[in-house]
Chain A
């Protein structure tokens, strides 16, 4: 069973002279073929895994112009909550509620860093369950930019939208007795010429990238459309086609 011991030191180099040019060519062809098969396989496997990624349903489907979106790079978030404070201040959010918050996840079996933070906000879904559920069209999708908006004067306060939302993004504002939610700062910043939402502008680490996903030159587009990075959405099974994407870094 034991391998026969070969003393490599004592072997003499035969040199290339004994190998014919045809043999050499065949060998090179074989090598190229193997490399080709592996490279092709790698590309195919990457492409097919893009199809399986949970964000796939939403990526590439941008019916609005400008189609606003946010990419959250989870591992950049340090839970400083400046985003929450900026949002509250900019949008005069009632202290009893919030439009965005940062969730904390502990993975006890992880090696090294065990804690990560997951900022959450309204996902401005392409197929928002809250809009379908509202009896009076008080909540609606803006025809131009796709932002899920509230017309609080029509809100009867039945709270069905709060239950319909897969992201817990809605709350009752006790001052107006209507439901309130994130609107990507459209009234407080975007319409005033600002390019970023308050939360994205306040983030010191760049964990929140806000932009126009329908524009290939935009940072959001470039982040989401990467083959080598995993991009996902929260609760893809709810089928709401959200516009907030998540990745690690």
Chain B
């Protein structure tokens, strides 16, 4: 049955692509690129600002390569993962979340979510690429990674699965985005489904990298992969609201009712996910208090050195204030929803940082009671690490700004 249908599919797909890819489309495409020139003065100011940020960050990155990461970054033997890894996670968390939330509309057919799809897919590609830039500058020999991932794979390694699946994810997200440009929504849906599956698998493997490190009690267990997926969706929702709002500001457009409806649906989902994350956080803290090694970490962020990170950023900006704002907004007040989203993004960034760093501040020899590892270890990000991460954030925003013009505000025919 499947065989008789197979030859038809690629032909109709190609035919569809060719049909839309005639000379007028080429002209239109060139016109779209020229659209970048149509922005307002403020738009250019923003583009230049973020371009300068990316440029400056590139210099910092080159300097880090020159002096060696060992010197340039603040990571140590005891805390080998720092701001770079947490920012990589932040970017891929956002990307996966955008993919999942956009899939609700154009893969699973929930109409209310459809208007956000194109932009969400685009920003999803942009954020994962920013994440890859950060990881390429964190891993000591990234080019070996490309070679030996293929010829010397370790199938028991979560890092291997994550890397490979994110590769697949990126390819299918790009295909999906291309197909959406040609309005081939049926094929885009199929590509979106593959991207969704590989994205979720990749992201849960990222969680499992931590969850399967049984030498690290703070991370070990099935909690991490589940938590990663839920927090990815939370990030995705926040990013959609913030970027969609910003896009309409840039394009000087009034938001259509369908888009308003989509935003309020995403906002409702955000509130639900914040509630789930609150639940996760509460139990993470409570279960941690009965384990000696974890308890030390828990008290360091509940009432110790890292209390500001936890209470102000994670709980305040990441959960409580946006949750309240979203409820007060009644899913209608755009300003409140946007402020809530911006806070969530800041809160989530710190959540990722804390997750990575807190898992390492207890030495593996802590319970041995030796003088060298009696106290909690500490880490602070270096100038190079901060510079590179700032550049990656700049790259995301810059690409978003350019994308809005080149892809004409990601207008969608799907209603």
Listed in ascending order, the chain A residues whose CB lies under 8 Å from chain B are 96-97, 103-106, 118, 120, 129, 132-138, 153-160, 162-168, 170-172, 174, 177-178, 234-235, 238-240
Contact = CB atoms under 8 A, between A and B. Distances in A.
B70 A103 contact: no
A240 B368 CA distance: 17
Given A104-B370, A164-B213, A136 B364 contact: no
Contacts of B160: 135-136
Contacts of B142: 156
Interface of B: 68-71, 75, 77-78, 80-81, 139-142, 144-145, 148-149, 152-154, 156-160, 163, 209, 212-216, 360, 363-365, 367-373
A162 B80 contact: yes
A134 B141 contact: no
A157 B135 CA distance: 11
Nearest to B85: A159
Contacts of B213: 129, 133, 163-164
A224 to B, nearest CB: 20
**Main DSSP-derived SS at the B contact region:** loop
B152 A136 contact: yes
B158 A154 contact: no
B215 A105 contact: no
A104 B371 contact: yes
Given A118-B370, A238-B215, A156 B80 contact: no
Contact of A163 (B81, B157, B371): B81
Contacts of B373: 103
Given A132-B212, A153-B144, 19 more contacts: A103-B365, A103-B371, A104-B371, A118-B370, A136-B145, A137-B148, A137-B154, A156-B148, A159-B81, A160-B159, A163-B216, A166-B214, A168-B363, A168-B365, A177-B70, A177-B141, A178-B140, A178-B141, A234-B368
A154 B154 CA distance: 12
Nearest to B75: A159
A99 to B, nearest CB: 12
Contact of B77 (A157, A158, A166, A172): A172
19 contacts: A97-B77, A104-B371, A105-B368, A105-B370, A132-B154, A132-B212, A134-B159, A137-B148, A153-B144, A154-B152, A156-B148, A160-B157, A164-B213, A165-B364, A168-B365, A177-B141, A178-B141, A234-B368, A235-B364
Nearest to B367: A235
Nearest to B363: A168
B132 to A, nearest CB: 14
B372 A136 contact: no
A240 to B, nearest CB: 8
B268 to A, nearest CB: 38
Contacts of B216: 163
A240 B216 CA distance: 13
Given A129-B215, A163-B81, A166-B364, A136 B153 contact: yes
A239 B213 CA distance: 12
B208 to A, nearest CB: 11
A124 B158 CA distance: 21
Contacts of A104: 370-372
Contact of A135 (B78, B163, B363, B370): B163
Which of A157, A170, A174 has the most CB atoms of chain B within a 10 A radius of its CB?
A157
Contact of B370 (A103, A165, A174): A103
